[in-house]
Amino acid sequence: MTERPRVAFFDFTGCEGDQLQVVNLEERLFDLVEVVEVVSFREAMSEHSDDYEIAFIEGSVVTAHDEERLAGIRENADVVVALGSCAAFGGINAIRNDQDFETVTERVYGDDADMIEANPEARPIESVVEVDATIPGCPIDREEFVQVVTGLIRGVEPTLPNHPVCVECKLEENECAFHRDEICLGPVTRGGCGADCVGEGTHCWGCRGMVDTPSEDAYTAVLEEHGLDAEEIVEQYQLYWGWQRPERATQEEAQ
Ligand code: SF4
Ligand code: SF4
């Protein structure tokens, strides 16, 4: 990688909230552009170049055109980073993956549903191309973005926290959402967010994806302690993990 690598941002299907987080770095953006050369970033500049080394991809893959476009980006880039949960594991777009696609499009687009040319499933970018690094979250955490960029420039392979949100929640001394009779995905969700949602008075929705080795026994014990069984959290899983959940089940079956 060059001393000041050329960086490009691309959006697929998503709300662009992750790119907004990068824009919201504000003064720190000036530090960033001292160490990288941004050659394409639709949210922040009108110039575009296909000459880049690091590609940050936001959003899920939902059309055949997305697949072609993504493959082209992969060819151009030395390093591909999935930016945000939609790109990393399908995210909120994959909420439709377990539903009848025709019904979904009719519900959203009414009489215009026939005009929609999309795949029935929303998928993460790793289902199409090799991904070198991931920054999960909905939206991403700005500090984590800076850490990953810094690591890439130094040639250090970025790693993600692999402890559940509960660890950070306890450090923050938050009241546990289960005590308010809410169902929380914190025991099996990847930490790194500072348990912000619980701190704000709600619960963890799972936006950073599952930890690598979720302790489902421990989670089941927590659910049982609060009079809930695993079936009752399936809808919660579905909000962000519509892709990740069946993927894991398939992998487990193959083992
Ligand atoms: S991960 Fe969240 S913030 Fe990012 S594009 Fe998807 S919905 Fe938007
Ligand atoms: S279950 Fe949720 S609210 Fe309770 S400690 Fe874990 S992350 Fe916090």
- pLDDT for 129 equals 98
> Which ligand is located closest to the Cα atom of residue 166?
2
Q: Is residue 159 part of a domain?
A: no
Distances in whole angstroms, Cα of residue 212 to Cα of each of 17, 26, 167, 215, 255? 25, 33, 15, 10, 16
The residues of the chain scoring below 70 in pLDDT are: 230-231, 234, 245-255
70 within 8 A of 11, measured Cβ to Cβ: no
Do 17 and 133 belong to one domain?
yes
24 within 8 A of 142, measured Cβ to Cβ: yes
- pLDDT for 237 equals 76
Q: Which residues pair with 132 in a beta bridge?
A: none
pTM of the model: 0.90
For the chain, how many structural domains are there in total?
2
List, for residues 56-108, the tens digit of each pLDDT value: 999 999 999 999 999 999 999 999 999 999 999 999 999 988 889 999 999 99
List, for residues 170-181, the tens digit of each pLDDT value: 999 999 999 988
Do 38 and 104 belong to one domain?
yes
- pLDDT for 250 equals 52
- pLDDT for 28 equals 85
- pLDDT for 238 equals 79
Cα–Cα distance for residue pair 64/55, rounded to 1 Å: 20
State which residues form the domain around 58.
Answer: 6-154
Cβ atoms < 10 Å from Cβ of 45: 11
- pLDDT for 245 equals 67
Q: Is residue 200 part of a domain?
A: yes
Q: Is residue 229 part of a domain?
A: yes
Ligand 1 geometric centre to CA of 59 (Å)? 7
Do 189 and 123 belong to one domain?
no
Do 147 and 177 belong to one domain?
no
Q: Which residues pair with 210 in a beta bridge?
A: 189
Cα–Cα distance for residue pair 146/152, rounded to 1 Å: 10
Cα–Cα distance for residue pair 188/20, rounded to 1 Å: 27
- pLDDT for 227 equals 81
H helix or E strand, kind and range, residue 248: helix 244-254
- pLDDT for 236 equals 74
How far is CA 201 from its chain centroid?
22
Which of the listed residues 83, 85, 241 should we mutate to test ligand 1's pocket, taking the one with most ligand atoms within 8 A of CB?
A: 85
Considering Cα of 172, then 233, then 249, then 144, what sign does the dihedral take?
Answer: negative
Any atom of ligand 2 within 6 Å of the Cβ of 165: yes
Any atom of ligand 1 within 6 Å of the Cβ of 14: yes
Residue 218 half-sphere exposure toward CB, CA atoms < 13 A: 10
Q: Is residue 33 part of a domain?
A: yes
Report the CATH number at residue 142: 3.40.50.700
Q: Which residue spans within the chain are E strands per DSSP? A: 6-11, 37-40, 54-58, 79-83, 133-135
Cα–Cα distance for residue pair 178/251, rounded to 1 Å: 30
Do 128 and 192 belong to one domain?
no
Q: Is residue 56 part of a domain?
A: yes
Considering Cα of 160, then 164, then 165, then 168, what sign does the dihedral take?
Answer: negative
Any atom of ligand 2 within 6 Å of the Cβ of 198: yes
Ligand 1 geometric centre to CA of 14 (Å)? 5
Do 16 and 74 belong to one domain?
yes
Ligand 2 geometric centre to CA of 210 (Å)? 14
Do 59 and 79 belong to one domain?
yes
Do 12 and 134 belong to one domain?
yes
